[in-house]
Each structure stands twice: as structure tokens, then as C-alpha cells.
Structure 1
Amino acid sequence: MNLIKLSWKYLVFRPFSTGLNVILLALGLAIIIVLLLMQEQLEKKMNEDAAGIDLVVGAKGSPLQLILSSVYHIDFPTGNIDLEEARNLSRNRLVKNTIPLALGDNYQGFRIVGTNLDYLELYQAEFENGKSWSKAFQVVLGAEVAEKLGLKEGDEFMGSHGISEGSHDHEANYYHVSGVLKPKGNVVDRLILTSIESVWLTHEEDEESEEMEKSISSEITLNGLPQSEEPKEITTLLVQYRNPMAAIQLPRLVNSRTNMQAASPSFEMSRLFELLGVGISMLKGLAFVLIGISGLGIFIALYNSLKDRKYDLAILRAIGASRFQLVLLIFMEGFILTFLGAIIGILIGHSFLALIISQNQTGVMVSLQPWIFLKSELWVVAYAFVVGVLASVIPAFTAYQTSIAKQLTKA
């Protein structure tokens, strides 16, 4: 006797009930799968992007906004800070190294970041082709930028004012692509990197053309903070501590004695994940409720079907089926329902995340991988199977008690 085939025939005989239970289970699993994929990948990528950065110093405002805009490049900067004040901080005995950033422009939604070569070293960037910038208006493209925009070494483009696309172009100067980086799976993949002097010169479009050409031909700063005889500003300063004591003293020093603010990436991201955790927990709770409802639906479907199948079960017993085989038949139906729900739920979850990613051309969502499978997904599937088994216990016990003589006599 082929129990699997027989169980399947009983299920397809009730297509609407079977389909509803499978869909409810699949939706619950899909919600959990999407949340697991996003939570685990986002936390991992954000920790990787912040690795090596102990402190971020910028204009006063929201500390979280400062971290998001300077480390992850997914928010607007809080403002600019004075270059000389940043230079004084970089000379502090508690500071091991500082990396300046100058933000404010984009090209088709990808941010143009003015910095120095220490930024490439921080993320261990490697070149696919070309080389780093050596003079003003040369840029290095992240792998994702080059792929999405179809740019390569030697190409030129015109930057636009503002962090997001749609603003006016800086028509006075063109950026020249000097190199393209290998994909690293971090924030550098979606950035356009250049020197800070390039960002400054881009915003000096009122200058006389002769003076501009003279400035462009001058040397740029490849390491450390840029030099300028005139008062200049940068957006933020990424700081690395010299010793553990700096974690205690330096943020307090910056926040109390300067016009700047200091924010710790690890502290701010812990707060963010803690806040997001409440919403994620609520959504997971909703998903588990859906799975529970689907389990209840499986129980009701199996139990009600037994009323119409008692004569069939009695016939099976009469032709030689054992009580154990009847119990196994009912459990097989619950198993098939949960198996279909699990497969469809996993496919829906991964497909939905792929759809979300496809709708975001820039930003941290683009770096997520929708088709990787996590070990935690197996636990979710196991939970679904437990629900299916529990929903089948009472109907299976009822099938076990089926009396051949009683049912055939009724017939």
C-alpha cells in the first residue's frame, strides 16, 4: 500500500481547504524568512563597515544621523566642521589616525566622497583595473557603481549637487575615472571616491578659470588632512584610538570643549538594533501566529475529513491495513501539508527579498543577498513540521480507534 500516494489523493480531493492551509503556513514562514535574512545580513554588513572606526567626529546634531551618513552613507550629514579644528583633534595624543571625509555630491544617486588613500586601506580595497587618484578630479569607483552605471577606467562624468539624485549638475568640471575597485561586499562598493580637494574645487565654480586651472594643477593630499591657506571645511573625521583610555576621554573632550560632536559607531548601532528589535519581534510574533492558525486549520481539516472517511478507513482495515498504517496515513497528510507550506514559504520569502532589493538601485539594501540560505531557516521549517505533527495527533488517534465492524454495519 502506497501511503504517500493515498495521502496525496485525499488532499487534492479537497483543493480549497488544502490550498488555504498551505498558503497560511507559507505566508507565516515567508515573513520569518525575510526578517531573518535582513536582520542577519544587515547586522553583519554594518559591523563589517564599521570595523576599524572607533569614533566619528562631525557637526553637532543627531549622533545616529552622523554615524549613518559618515560610516554607512545612508543618511544626510549633520553639517560641516572647520578643517583647523579637525586638524587640532588629529594631533591629540589619544588619536592614532584620522580619515577626513567631504560629502555633498552624487552621480546618479551614488555618493561622491572626498577622502584620502587611508580610506581605501581601512577597507582593504583592491583594484580591478586602473589606480588610485593622484590629482584633482580623478575618481575611483566602487564595484557596484561601475557595474550599475557601466563606467570604466578613462570615462568621464559630471557630478550633481546634493546627496540624492535630481539636483543640478556641476557643469564647470568633469570627473575622470582613474580606477575601479574589486567587489568587497562592503560600503566601498557603492561609493565614488576622490580627493577632498576635488570636492572643494567642485564647489568653487565662481572662481576665475585661470585661478581654477592653477588650483587643479597643484598637488593634492593623499594621506592625512588636506592643507589649505584659506579657511576650509570638511564633513566628518573618522578616528582610530591610540589606546583604550581614548574611548573614555576623547568623546567627552570633543563634545564638551569643541564645536563638534563625537559618536561611537558600535554604541549607536547597538541602540538602533535595539529599537528595531522591537518591531522585528512583533513581526515575528505575527508570523508565528499565522503558523499557529495554519496548524489549527490543518487539525480542523484532518479531523473533519475523518467523518467522511471512516467508511474508507474501515475498508482499508478490512483489506489488511493495520491500525499503525492508518495512523501513519493521517500523519503523512499533515507532513505533506507542512512540507508544501515550508517549500512555498521559503521560495516566497527569498523571492520577496529579491524584489525589494531590485527596487533599490542604491543604498545598503542592494548589498544584501536574497538567495543565500541560513541555518536558522532550518529551525523555522522544523517549527512548522512540529505544528503539523501536533495538528495530526488527535485525528490520527481517532483513525486508530476506527472499528471495522461498526463502520461497515452502518454502511
Structure 2
Amino acid sequence: MRAWRFLLPLAWASAWNRRATLGLTLIAIVLASCLLLAVERLRHDVRESFAESVSGTDLIVGARGSPLQLVLYSVFRLGDASNNIGWDSYRKIAANPAVAWTIPLSLGDSHRGYPVLGTNGDYFAHFRYGLKTPLAIAEGRAFADGHDGIFEAVLGAEVAQQLGYRPGRRIVLSHGSGPLPGLDHAEKPFTVVGILAPTGTPVDRTVHVGLAAIEAIHLDWQGGMPLPGVEIPAAMVGKFDLTPKEVTAFLVGLHQRTAVFGVQRTIAGFRDEPLQAVLPGVVLDQLWQSLAFGEKLLRGLSWLILVLGLAGLLAVMLAGLGERRRELAILRALGASLPHIVILLLLESLILGLAGAFGGCVLLTAASMAAGPWLAQNWGIVLHSLLPGADEWSLLAAIVAVSLLAGLLPAWRASRLALADGLTPRL
């Protein structure tokens, strides 16, 4: 019984004696563990951040059709727009007592490949992303609502960086998704008055203007084409009624989230025109499920790297058995039984597994603390926790268990070495 108490110190002393060889293996296990945990953490946090591209919004309302198409176009500016919504319908729904705020969205124009979003001051007041983070102006100011800010534009961070724009720059918008001859609004240029701070969301790739501006640049257009011989100069647009006639979609925030399904049913039964109200989180989760293949592939590659690291541990221990024949034989001669020898080698594997898992966890925590702000600002990936979650603790336990299993073969091999074989020198 006394021999069992010395096995753990003996295993530690033996591993420390071979620290140069085992150290390289340990580094491989630490890196593999860190990568596996990082993929799991990023998988979870990227999914959460993806679902939080628009945060704090209870419903997205648009013309009846595909919920996925509505979310992709209104949130990510991808795909084609469905039918627009009448302005009167928007006003009626916004007046619902359960509705706290709304953000109208008008899409369809662009600037050098970047989408143009027509909205109003509620966008800067109520739009949230990530962990309900509000938009921030990095330079300049937001455009003014109404006639005072008709030809003012606020740029997303990526637009400003890629095109080299700063406040005061004059830009021209184009009709549709790209510049085509005769389909721009060159006679009504805009002035950049503000640049938003990076969000890591589609906001960074968007040019923001007022709803009145969208109406102003299309006063002399009809059916998506300029009217021949008609050109209303920018100085004259203030004489016209620039109240929007329709919008692409709008975001809705409620006083109480418990009312979301009631409001959704009300909008679905709206009699003036066919509308739909979708829960953005549900639709984004469905979209993520369709993209899960890449996530599973990354996780599989991480497990493969971990297996390669543990294979290195197995190879080192098997190769070391030849050098440790006399050590093991002396232990047998001093009274150690075969179970003692097996447990000794398993303890060495366990020590390496524990050290590798702990080192990987520490390395990942340090990397998360260092890279967390950068990921949130540039990629919109919010690291929700620096400490291991339930899934990561399961992975840590799996790493230790697999490390222990990796020691089974060397332990079995050592048990087969006979005492006489260990003490007899080979010629």
C-alpha cells in the first residue's frame, strides 16, 4: 500500500528528468488544445455575433414573401428586394400602442458598389448591434432630418477607409447596385458629414442618407429611369413634398417583448396590403444552420491536430521505453508490481494531458483578452466570456481522457518487459 503513495511523485520526477524531450510534446499538446478550444469558442461567439448583427430589434417588417430574403436584404444588404411597403402602412403600424420605436429602411441605390440606405434619425438613436451596442460617430456628425439634411451622407467605416473619404467630401449616388451610364444622380451630389465607428457588421459597408434624400434624387425619375428632358436641380428640390411614398422594410422595437407574437399576428393580418413580420433571431439561426458545414469542418481539423499532438506523445513514450528498460527493471527489483509500472506510465500521460489542457486554456484566455477588442471592432465578433464554458470544459476533459488513453499502449508494452530482459545488457 505504501508503494502506491510514491507513484505520483515518481511519475513527476521521471517526467521532469526527461523534460527536454517531453517539453516539445507538451508544446504540441498545448497548441493543439488551444486551437481546439479556440474553434469551439469562436464557433459559439461567431454564431451569437451573427445573430446579433441587428440587436434589440424585435421584428423586421416587409412585404409578404420569403422571411430569409427579407432579412438578408434589410440587414445584410444581400439579394434582391421584394415589393416595397406603402408609407401609410408604415405609419399605421408605427402607431400601434405596443410599438416603442421603428426604423424605416429604403434600399435600392448604391455608391461605387456600396449599398445606400435611406433612413431617419431613429436609426442612430435605436439601432443596436452585438450586445446591444449603439452606433457611434467616429468623425463629424449624423445627417440632419428633413430638408436641412437632404444632401448629407454618413458613411460606414469600411466605405470611408476603402475609398479614402473624410467629412466634407462630395459623392454621387447611382441608381441600382452599380454605376451604369445614365443611371447615376450626378446632378444631385451629397456631402459626407460623418463617419461611423467600426462595428464589424453590414453597417460598415453602407452609405446612410435621409429618407427625404431618396425622394429628392428620384423626383425626375419614373419606373426606375430618368424622365427624358426633365431635370430638377438640387437647389429646387426643397419646393417639393419629400415625404416618402414607400419604404423597403422597417425595424420594430416593442415596449414589452412578450407582445411580439401578438404584434406579429396583427401585421400578418394587416388589410391594407400583404405584409410579414419576422423575428430576426429565428431567421438568422436558420441561416446559420445552413452554413454549419464549415463550422463542423473547422472542428474536425482541430480534433485532427489534437490527435497528431497525442500521437507525438505516444511516439515519444514508446521510443523512451528502450532507454527506460533498466529504470523499469530496477523498480521491479525493488518490489514494484506490474500494476505499479502500468499506473506509473499512465500517470505520466495524465500529467502531460493535464498540463497540455491547462496550458491551452491559459493560452486561449490570454489570446482572448488581447484580441477581444480588435475582433469586436473589426469583425463584430463579441467574445461573451473569457473563461471556459460548459462545452469547453467537456473538451478539456476529453483532452485529458484521450491523453490517458494514449498512455495505454506504452504501459502495456512496459508490462511485457521481463525483469531479466531489463537487467541483461544487449550486445
TM-score (norm 2): 0.68
Task: Describe the shift of the 1:243–1:8 C-alpha distance in structure 2 as closer, same or farther (beyond 3 A).
Answer: closer
Counterpart of 1:263 in structure 2: which amino acid?
A: V
Which residue is equivalent to 1:407? 422
Partner Cα separation in structure 2 for residue 6 and residue 277 of structure 1: 46
TM-score (norm 1): 0.70
Query: Where do residues 23-102 of structure 1 align in structure 2 (5 Å cutoff)?
Result: 30=35, 33-44=38-49, 46-47=51-52, 49-51=54-56, 53-102=57-106
Which residue is equivalent to 2:139? 129
Which residue is equivalent to 1:247? 260
Task: Describe the shift of the 1:295–1:327 C-alpha distance in structure 2 as closer, same or farther (beyond 3 A).
Answer: farther
Partner Cα separation in structure 1 for residue 342 and residue 348 of structure 2: 10
Which residue is equivalent to 1:385? 400
- How far does residue 177 in structure 1 lie from its aligned partner after superposition? 0.6
Partner Cα separation in structure 1 for residue 331 and residue 283 of structure 2: 66
Task: Describe the shift of the 1:238–1:369 C-alpha distance in structure 2 as closer, same or farther (beyond 3 A).
Answer: closer
Count of residues in correspondence between the two structures: 379
Which residue is equivalent to 1:146? 160
Task: Describe the shift of the 1:218–1:308 C-alpha distance in structure 2 as closer, same or farther (beyond 3 A).
Answer: farther
Query: Where do residues 11-410 of structure 1 align in structure 2 (5 Å cutoff)?
Result: 30=35, 33-44=38-49, 46-47=51-52, 49-51=54-56, 53-123=57-127, 124-134=134-144, 135-163=149-177, 170-172=184-186, 173-183=188-198, 188-203=203-218, 204=220, 206=226, 211-217=232-238, 227=243, 232-241=245-254, 246-256=259-269, 257=271, 258-273=273-288, 275-276=289-290, 279=293, 282-283=296-297, 286=300, 290=304, 293-294=307-308, 297=311, 301=315, 304-305=318-319, 308-309=322-323, 311=325, 313-314=327-328, 332=348, 366-368=379-381, 375-376=388-389, 379=393, 380-381=395-396, 383-396=398-411, 399=414, 405-409=420-424
Partner Cα separation in structure 2 for residue 219 and residue 331 of structure 1: 83
Contact (CA 8 Å) 2:50, 2:284: kept in 1 or not?
no
| CA displacement, residues 37-67 of structure 1 (integer Å, 9 cap, x when unaligned) | 143134145336231x222111222112212
- How far does residue 107 in structure 1 lie from its aligned partner after superposition? 3.2
Structure 2 SS opposite 1:251: helix
Contact (CA 8 Å) 1:201, 1:212: kept in 2 or not?
no
Unaligned residue ranges in structure 1 (runs of 5+): 13-17, 221-225, 359-363
Structure 1 SS opposite 2:105: strand
Structure 2 SS opposite 1:375: coil
Partner Cα separation in structure 1 for residue 22 and residue 102 of structure 2: 69
| CA displacement, residues 359-401 of structure 1 (integer Å, 9 cap, x when unaligned) | xxxxx9933379x966349634553233213322452465478
- How far does residue 127 in structure 1 lie from its aligned partner after superposition? 2.6
Partner Cα separation in structure 2 for residue 37 and residue 183 of structure 1: 20
Contact (CA 8 Å) 2:43, 2:295: kept in 1 or not?
no
Counterpart of 1:89 in structure 2: which amino acid?
A: I
- How far does residue 326 in structure 1 lie from its aligned partner after superposition? 9.8
Cα RMSD between the aligned structures? 4.8
Counterpart of 2:107 in structure 1: which amino acid?
A: L
Task: Describe the shift of the 1:325–1:111 C-alpha distance in structure 2 as closer, same or farther (beyond 3 A).
Answer: farther
82-91 vs 119-128, greater mean Cα deviation: 82-91
Contact (CA 8 Å) 1:99, 1:118: kept in 2 or not?
yes
Contact (CA 8 Å) 1:334, 1:391: kept in 2 or not?
no
Task: Describe the shift of the 1:386–1:246 C-alpha distance in structure 2 as closer, same or farther (beyond 3 A).
Answer: closer
Partner Cα separation in structure 1 for residue 20 and residue 164 of structure 2: 51
Partner Cα separation in structure 1 for residue 19 and residue 299 of structure 2: 31
Task: Describe the shift of the 1:38–1:104 C-alpha distance in structure 2 as closer, same or farther (beyond 3 A).
Answer: farther
Partner Cα separation in structure 1 for residue 121 and residue 198 of structure 2: 17
Task: Describe the shift of the 1:195–1:278 C-alpha distance in structure 2 as closer, same or farther (beyond 3 A).
Answer: closer
Which residue is equivalent to 1:361? none
- How far does residue 139 in structure 1 lie from its aligned partner after superposition? 0.8
Unaligned residue ranges in structure 2 (runs of 5+): 1-12, 128-133
Contact (CA 8 Å) 2:321, 2:414: kept in 1 or not?
no
- How far does residue 299 in structure 1 lie from its aligned partner after superposition? 7.3
